[in-house]
Structure 1
Protein backbone atom coordinates (compact mmCIF):
# COMPACT_ATOMS: atom_id res chain seq x y z
CA UNK A 1 0.00 0.00 0.00
CA UNK A 2 1.59 3.34 -1.02
CA UNK A 3 1.76 6.51 1.01
CA UNK A 4 -1.35 7.98 -0.61
CA UNK A 5 -3.42 4.94 0.33
CA UNK A 6 -2.09 4.95 3.90
CA UNK A 7 -2.89 8.65 4.18
CA UNK A 8 -6.44 8.01 2.92
CA UNK A 9 -6.95 5.25 5.51
CA UNK A 10 -5.67 7.46 8.32
CA UNK A 11 -7.80 10.42 7.25
CA UNK A 12 -10.94 8.32 6.95
CA UNK A 13 -10.45 6.71 10.36
CA UNK A 14 -9.79 10.09 11.94
CA UNK A 15 -12.96 11.51 10.36
CA UNK A 16 -15.07 8.64 11.67
CA UNK A 17 -13.53 8.99 15.12
CA UNK A 18 -14.30 12.70 15.22
CA UNK A 19 -17.82 12.06 13.94
CA UNK A 20 -18.45 9.54 16.69
CA UNK A 21 -17.26 12.06 19.30
CA UNK A 22 -19.46 14.82 17.90
CA UNK A 23 -22.49 12.58 17.64
CA UNK A 24 -22.25 11.76 21.35
CA UNK A 25 -23.28 15.35 22.21
CA UNK A 26 -26.74 15.78 23.75
CA UNK A 27 -28.99 17.64 21.30
CA UNK A 28 -31.62 18.39 23.97
CA UNK A 29 -31.33 21.79 25.63
CA UNK A 30 -31.39 21.59 29.46
CA UNK A 31 -32.19 17.87 29.46
CA UNK A 32 -32.06 17.61 33.27
CA UNK A 33 -34.17 20.77 33.84
CA UNK A 34 -31.40 22.50 35.77
CA UNK A 35 -32.01 25.99 34.37
CA UNK A 36 -35.31 27.46 35.62
CA UNK A 37 -35.92 31.20 35.53
CA UNK A 38 -36.90 31.25 39.21
CA UNK A 39 -35.77 30.01 42.60
CA UNK A 40 -37.25 26.76 43.90
CA UNK A 41 -36.45 25.86 47.50
CA UNK A 42 -35.59 22.31 48.57
CA UNK A 43 -38.58 20.01 48.81
CA UNK A 44 -40.92 22.38 46.97
CA UNK A 45 -42.55 22.53 43.54
CA UNK A 46 -44.47 24.81 41.22
CA UNK A 47 -46.32 24.49 37.92
CA UNK A 48 -45.44 25.73 34.48
CA UNK A 49 -48.71 27.06 33.03
CA UNK A 50 -50.85 25.70 35.83
CA UNK A 51 -51.84 26.22 39.49
CA UNK A 52 -49.10 27.64 41.75
CA UNK A 53 -47.62 28.99 38.54
CA UNK A 54 -43.94 29.94 38.41
CA UNK A 55 -41.63 31.05 35.62
CA UNK A 56 -40.13 29.24 32.64
CA UNK A 57 -37.64 26.38 32.29
CA UNK A 58 -34.98 26.90 29.63
CA UNK A 59 -35.57 24.82 26.51
CA UNK A 60 -38.97 23.41 27.50
CA UNK A 61 -42.61 24.40 27.04
CA UNK A 62 -45.88 22.83 28.14
CA UNK A 63 -47.85 22.48 31.35
CA UNK A 64 -46.08 20.49 34.06
CA UNK A 65 -44.83 20.67 37.65
CA UNK A 66 -41.13 21.29 38.29
CA UNK A 67 -39.79 19.86 41.55
CA UNK A 68 -36.62 20.13 43.54
CA UNK A 69 -34.68 16.92 44.06
CA UNK A 70 -35.62 15.81 47.57
CA UNK A 71 -38.07 13.56 49.40
CA UNK A 72 -40.49 16.48 49.49
CA UNK A 73 -43.84 16.94 47.72
CA UNK A 74 -45.53 13.91 46.20
CA UNK A 75 -42.77 11.65 47.52
CA UNK A 76 -40.47 12.50 44.63
CA UNK A 77 -37.20 10.61 45.02
CA UNK A 78 -33.76 12.15 44.76
CA UNK A 79 -32.79 12.19 41.12
CA UNK A 80 -29.29 11.15 40.01
CA UNK A 81 -29.34 13.87 37.34
CA UNK A 82 -29.12 17.16 39.27
CA UNK A 83 -31.25 19.36 41.51
CA UNK A 84 -34.53 19.38 39.57
CA UNK A 85 -36.98 17.01 37.87
CA UNK A 86 -40.41 17.30 36.26
CA UNK A 87 -43.64 15.46 36.87
CA UNK A 88 -46.03 14.12 34.26
CA UNK A 89 -49.32 14.29 36.13
CA UNK A 90 -52.77 13.62 34.70
CA UNK A 91 -52.74 15.08 31.20
CA UNK A 92 -49.79 17.45 31.66
CA UNK A 93 -47.04 17.50 29.04
CA UNK A 94 -43.56 18.80 28.29
CA UNK A 95 -42.05 19.38 24.88
CA UNK A 96 -39.04 20.83 23.12
CA UNK A 97 -38.33 21.70 19.48
CA UNK A 98 -35.14 19.93 18.46
CA UNK A 99 -32.69 21.17 15.84
CA UNK A 100 -31.83 17.97 13.98
CA UNK A 101 -30.50 16.96 10.61
CA UNK A 102 -32.15 14.09 8.76
CA UNK A 103 -30.95 10.81 10.24
CA UNK A 104 -31.24 8.25 13.05
CA UNK A 105 -31.09 9.23 16.71
CA UNK A 106 -31.21 7.66 20.17
CA UNK A 107 -33.56 9.13 22.78
CA UNK A 108 -32.87 8.28 26.43
CA UNK A 109 -34.34 9.40 29.76
CA UNK A 110 -35.09 8.16 33.27
CA UNK A 111 -38.44 7.91 35.04
CA UNK A 112 -39.77 7.08 38.50
CA UNK A 113 -43.15 6.82 40.25
CA UNK A 114 -44.85 9.00 42.83
CA UNK A 115 -44.18 7.61 46.28
CA UNK A 116 -46.85 9.13 48.54
CA UNK A 117 -49.92 8.39 46.47
CA UNK A 118 -51.05 4.80 46.64
CA UNK A 119 -53.27 4.92 43.60
CA UNK A 120 -52.89 3.53 40.09
CA UNK A 121 -50.02 3.95 37.69
CA UNK A 122 -49.29 7.02 35.58
CA UNK A 123 -49.21 6.41 31.84
CA UNK A 124 -47.47 8.77 29.45
CA UNK A 125 -46.61 8.80 25.76
CA UNK A 126 -43.26 9.66 24.21
CA UNK A 127 -43.59 11.32 20.79
CA UNK A 128 -41.22 12.73 18.20
CA UNK A 129 -42.56 14.83 15.35
CA UNK A 130 -46.13 13.97 16.34
CA UNK A 131 -45.47 10.22 16.09
CA UNK A 132 -45.97 8.21 19.30
CA UNK A 133 -42.85 6.11 19.78
CA UNK A 134 -43.67 4.57 23.15
CA UNK A 135 -46.35 4.42 25.85
CA UNK A 136 -44.86 4.05 29.33
CA UNK A 137 -46.60 3.01 32.58
CA UNK A 138 -44.89 3.98 35.84
CA UNK A 139 -46.04 2.20 38.98
CA UNK A 140 -46.58 3.80 42.37
CA UNK A 141 -43.24 4.27 44.14
CA UNK A 142 -41.19 2.91 41.22
CA UNK A 143 -37.46 3.60 41.45
CA UNK A 144 -35.55 5.52 38.79
CA UNK A 145 -35.36 3.44 35.62
CA UNK A 146 -33.36 4.13 32.45
CA UNK A 147 -35.35 4.15 29.20
CA UNK A 148 -34.20 4.50 25.59
CA UNK A 149 -35.45 4.13 22.03
CA UNK A 150 -34.32 4.93 18.49
CA UNK A 151 -36.07 7.10 15.93
CA UNK A 152 -35.48 8.40 12.43
CA UNK A 153 -36.38 11.91 11.32
CA UNK A 154 -36.27 13.92 8.11
CA UNK A 155 -35.11 17.03 10.01
CA UNK A 156 -36.11 19.40 12.83
CA UNK A 157 -38.87 18.01 15.01
CA UNK A 158 -40.64 18.25 18.39
CA UNK A 159 -39.96 15.90 21.32
CA UNK A 160 -42.88 15.43 23.70
CA UNK A 161 -43.72 13.59 26.93
CA UNK A 162 -47.50 13.67 27.48
CA UNK A 163 -49.55 12.25 30.35
CA UNK A 164 -52.44 9.90 29.56
CA UNK A 165 -53.86 9.21 33.02
CA UNK A 166 -56.74 11.37 34.26
CA UNK A 167 -56.12 11.13 37.97
CA UNK A 168 -53.58 12.20 40.56
CA UNK A 169 -50.80 9.76 39.70
CA UNK A 170 -47.39 11.15 38.68
CA UNK A 171 -44.47 9.96 36.58
CA UNK A 172 -41.20 11.78 37.26
CA UNK A 173 -38.97 12.48 34.23
CA UNK A 174 -35.32 13.53 34.19
CA UNK A 175 -32.00 13.32 32.31
CA UNK A 176 -33.49 13.54 28.79
CA UNK A 177 -30.98 13.07 25.99
CA UNK A 178 -31.03 12.81 22.18
CA UNK A 179 -27.84 11.78 20.41
CA UNK A 180 -27.13 10.95 16.79
CA UNK A 181 -26.49 7.27 16.11
CA UNK A 182 -22.77 6.44 16.23
CA UNK A 183 -21.46 4.17 13.44
CA UNK A 184 -21.37 0.51 14.41
CA UNK A 185 -17.94 -1.20 14.72
CA UNK A 186 -18.78 -3.04 11.51
CA UNK A 187 -18.81 0.29 9.67
CA UNK A 188 -15.17 0.86 10.57
CA UNK A 189 -14.30 -2.68 9.53
CA UNK A 190 -15.98 -2.23 6.14
CA UNK A 191 -14.12 1.03 5.60
CA UNK A 192 -10.74 -0.53 6.38
CA UNK A 193 -11.51 -3.53 4.16
CA UNK A 194 -12.51 -1.27 1.27
CA UNK A 195 -9.42 0.88 1.57
CA UNK A 196 -7.29 -2.25 1.85
CA UNK A 197 -8.76 -3.47 -1.42
CA UNK A 198 -7.78 -0.16 -3.00
CA UNK A 199 -4.24 -0.79 -1.79
CA UNK A 200 -4.19 -4.23 -3.41
CA UNK A 201 -5.36 -2.74 -6.69
CA UNK A 202 -2.67 -0.05 -6.48
CA UNK A 203 0.06 -2.65 -5.88
CA UNK A 204 -1.10 -4.71 -8.87
CA UNK A 205 -0.98 -1.65 -11.07
CA UNK A 206 2.60 -0.96 -9.99
CA UNK A 207 3.58 -4.58 -10.65
CA UNK A 208 2.26 -4.35 -14.22
Structure 2
Protein backbone atom coordinates (compact mmCIF):
# COMPACT_ATOMS: atom_id res chain seq x y z
CA UNK A 1 0.00 0.00 0.00
CA UNK A 2 2.83 2.39 0.93
CA UNK A 3 4.61 1.65 -2.37
CA UNK A 4 1.41 2.21 -4.35
CA UNK A 5 0.88 5.60 -2.64
CA UNK A 6 4.48 6.67 -3.39
CA UNK A 7 4.04 5.59 -7.02
CA UNK A 8 0.82 7.65 -7.34
CA UNK A 9 2.49 10.68 -5.73
CA UNK A 10 5.49 10.37 -8.08
CA UNK A 11 3.22 9.97 -11.12
CA UNK A 12 1.14 12.99 -10.10
CA UNK A 13 4.28 15.07 -9.49
CA UNK A 14 5.71 14.16 -12.88
CA UNK A 15 2.40 14.96 -14.59
CA UNK A 16 2.15 18.34 -12.85
CA UNK A 17 5.78 19.19 -13.64
CA UNK A 18 5.41 18.26 -17.29
CA UNK A 19 2.11 20.17 -17.50
CA UNK A 20 3.71 23.22 -15.85
CA UNK A 21 6.67 23.00 -18.24
CA UNK A 22 4.31 22.79 -21.22
CA UNK A 23 2.36 25.84 -20.04
CA UNK A 24 5.58 27.79 -19.43
CA UNK A 25 6.92 26.70 -22.83
CA UNK A 26 3.70 27.69 -24.60
CA UNK A 27 3.64 31.09 -22.91
CA UNK A 28 7.27 31.72 -23.83
CA UNK A 29 6.64 31.39 -27.56
CA UNK A 30 6.43 34.75 -29.34
CA UNK A 31 3.29 35.71 -31.19
CA UNK A 32 3.64 36.00 -34.93
CA UNK A 33 1.89 38.81 -36.75
CA UNK A 34 1.54 42.55 -36.82
CA UNK A 35 2.08 44.66 -33.72
CA UNK A 36 0.70 47.80 -35.42
CA UNK A 37 -0.47 49.07 -38.80
CA UNK A 38 2.98 50.29 -39.86
CA UNK A 39 4.68 46.91 -39.51
CA UNK A 40 5.87 45.09 -42.57
CA UNK A 41 6.86 41.92 -40.75
CA UNK A 42 5.46 38.76 -42.32
CA UNK A 43 2.83 36.59 -40.69
CA UNK A 44 3.04 32.81 -40.86
CA UNK A 45 0.01 31.42 -42.67
CA UNK A 46 0.02 27.70 -43.33
CA UNK A 47 3.54 27.71 -44.70
CA UNK A 48 3.16 30.89 -46.75
CA UNK A 49 4.28 34.23 -45.32
CA UNK A 50 3.03 37.60 -46.55
CA UNK A 51 4.86 40.87 -46.31
CA UNK A 52 5.05 44.27 -47.95
CA UNK A 53 8.33 44.92 -49.77
CA UNK A 54 9.71 47.65 -52.05
CA UNK A 55 9.81 46.60 -55.71
CA UNK A 56 11.48 49.23 -57.87
CA UNK A 57 9.34 52.39 -57.62
CA UNK A 58 6.42 50.31 -56.36
CA UNK A 59 5.56 48.16 -53.36
CA UNK A 60 4.33 44.59 -53.45
CA UNK A 61 2.36 42.34 -51.16
CA UNK A 62 4.35 39.13 -51.61
CA UNK A 63 3.85 35.55 -50.56
CA UNK A 64 6.76 33.27 -49.75
CA UNK A 65 7.22 29.68 -48.63
CA UNK A 66 10.33 28.41 -46.90
CA UNK A 67 13.20 27.90 -49.32
CA UNK A 68 11.40 29.54 -52.24
CA UNK A 69 11.54 32.97 -53.81
CA UNK A 70 8.89 35.56 -52.93
CA UNK A 71 6.05 35.89 -55.45
CA UNK A 72 4.03 39.11 -55.74
CA UNK A 73 0.32 38.80 -55.07
CA UNK A 74 -0.50 42.51 -55.49
CA UNK A 75 1.79 45.22 -56.87
CA UNK A 76 1.02 48.71 -55.52
CA UNK A 77 1.97 51.44 -58.02
CA UNK A 78 1.72 55.25 -57.79
CA UNK A 79 -0.77 55.17 -60.70
CA UNK A 80 -2.80 52.46 -58.99
CA UNK A 81 -2.88 54.51 -55.78
CA UNK A 82 -5.08 56.98 -57.63
CA UNK A 83 -7.86 54.43 -57.10
CA UNK A 84 -7.61 54.97 -53.32
CA UNK A 85 -6.95 58.70 -52.85
CA UNK A 86 -3.92 60.77 -52.01
CA UNK A 87 -3.75 59.79 -48.33
CA UNK A 88 -2.93 56.20 -49.34
CA UNK A 89 0.39 56.12 -51.22
CA UNK A 90 1.64 52.69 -52.40
CA UNK A 91 3.65 51.88 -49.26
CA UNK A 92 0.79 52.72 -46.89
CA UNK A 93 -1.75 50.79 -48.95
CA UNK A 94 0.61 47.82 -49.20
CA UNK A 95 1.14 47.71 -45.43
CA UNK A 96 -2.56 48.04 -44.60
CA UNK A 97 -3.77 45.48 -47.13
CA UNK A 98 -0.96 43.01 -46.33
CA UNK A 99 -2.00 43.11 -42.67
CA UNK A 100 -5.68 42.61 -43.55
CA UNK A 101 -4.82 39.77 -45.93
CA UNK A 102 -2.84 38.02 -43.19
CA UNK A 103 -5.80 38.46 -40.81
CA UNK A 104 -8.16 36.96 -43.42
CA UNK A 105 -5.90 33.95 -43.91
CA UNK A 106 -5.56 33.50 -40.16
CA UNK A 107 -9.38 33.61 -39.82
CA UNK A 108 -9.51 30.98 -42.59
CA UNK A 109 -7.55 28.52 -40.45
CA UNK A 110 -4.12 29.68 -41.62
CA UNK A 111 -4.69 28.56 -45.19
CA UNK A 112 -5.54 30.16 -48.52
CA UNK A 113 -7.58 27.12 -49.57
CA UNK A 114 -11.15 28.18 -50.47
CA UNK A 115 -10.32 31.88 -49.95
CA UNK A 116 -11.51 34.21 -52.71
CA UNK A 117 -10.59 37.80 -53.52
CA UNK A 118 -13.60 39.66 -54.93
CA UNK A 119 -15.49 42.94 -55.13
CA UNK A 120 -18.71 43.93 -53.39
CA UNK A 121 -20.64 46.60 -51.51
CA UNK A 122 -20.29 47.56 -47.83
CA UNK A 123 -22.12 50.60 -46.42
CA UNK A 124 -22.98 51.76 -49.96
CA UNK A 125 -19.29 51.77 -50.95
CA UNK A 126 -17.54 49.47 -53.41
CA UNK A 127 -14.90 47.37 -51.70
CA UNK A 128 -12.42 44.61 -52.45
CA UNK A 129 -12.68 41.79 -49.91
CA UNK A 130 -11.80 38.19 -49.17
CA UNK A 131 -14.49 35.53 -48.89
CA UNK A 132 -14.10 32.36 -46.87
CA UNK A 133 -16.04 29.28 -47.95
CA UNK A 134 -19.00 30.03 -45.67
CA UNK A 135 -19.22 33.73 -46.70
CA UNK A 136 -21.29 34.95 -49.62
CA UNK A 137 -20.68 38.71 -49.61
CA UNK A 138 -18.25 41.41 -48.57
CA UNK A 139 -18.73 42.82 -45.05
CA UNK A 140 -16.77 45.16 -42.73
CA UNK A 141 -14.80 42.23 -41.29
CA UNK A 142 -13.52 40.84 -44.62
CA UNK A 143 -12.92 44.13 -46.46
CA UNK A 144 -9.35 44.69 -47.64
CA UNK A 145 -9.92 48.19 -49.02
CA UNK A 146 -12.55 50.63 -50.30
CA UNK A 147 -12.46 52.12 -53.79
CA UNK A 148 -12.95 55.82 -54.52
CA UNK A 149 -16.47 56.49 -55.89
CA UNK A 150 -15.17 57.27 -59.40
CA UNK A 151 -13.59 53.80 -59.56
CA UNK A 152 -16.54 51.89 -58.10
CA UNK A 153 -17.90 50.85 -61.50
CA UNK A 154 -14.44 49.53 -62.45
CA UNK A 155 -13.87 47.24 -59.45
CA UNK A 156 -13.22 44.19 -61.62
CA UNK A 157 -10.67 46.12 -63.65
CA UNK A 158 -9.01 47.36 -60.44
CA UNK A 159 -8.66 43.76 -59.20
CA UNK A 160 -7.21 42.74 -62.57
CA UNK A 161 -4.70 45.61 -62.44
CA UNK A 162 -3.69 44.79 -58.88
CA UNK A 163 -3.33 41.08 -59.50
CA UNK A 164 -0.05 41.17 -61.37
CA UNK A 165 0.64 37.76 -59.94
CA UNK A 166 2.61 34.67 -60.81
CA UNK A 167 6.22 34.11 -61.69
CA UNK A 168 5.88 35.63 -65.14
CA UNK A 169 3.80 38.69 -64.23
CA UNK A 170 0.55 37.16 -65.45
CA UNK A 171 -2.62 36.51 -63.55
CA UNK A 172 -4.17 34.39 -66.31
CA UNK A 173 -6.12 31.48 -64.91
CA UNK A 174 -6.56 33.02 -61.46
CA UNK A 175 -9.17 35.67 -62.27
CA UNK A 176 -12.73 34.64 -63.12
CA UNK A 177 -15.63 36.97 -63.84
CA UNK A 178 -19.29 36.05 -63.40
CA UNK A 179 -22.02 38.62 -64.14
CA UNK A 180 -19.75 41.56 -63.33
CA UNK A 181 -18.45 39.91 -60.18
CA UNK A 182 -14.71 39.19 -60.25
CA UNK A 183 -13.26 36.30 -58.24
CA UNK A 184 -9.61 35.42 -57.67
CA UNK A 185 -9.09 32.02 -56.04
CA UNK A 186 -6.16 32.63 -53.68
CA UNK A 187 -5.81 28.90 -52.97
CA UNK A 188 -5.29 28.23 -56.70
CA UNK A 189 -2.80 31.10 -56.83
CA UNK A 190 -0.83 29.60 -53.94
CA UNK A 191 -0.83 26.10 -55.46
CA UNK A 192 0.26 27.26 -58.91
CA UNK A 193 3.02 29.70 -57.96
CA UNK A 194 4.60 27.53 -55.28
What is the TM-score of this pair, normalised by structure 1?
Answer: 0.30
Larger relative helix fraction: 2
Structure-2-length-normalised TM-score: 0.32
Structure possessing the higher radius of gyration over alpha carbons: 1
- Greater RCO between the two (CA within 8 Å, min separation 6)? 1
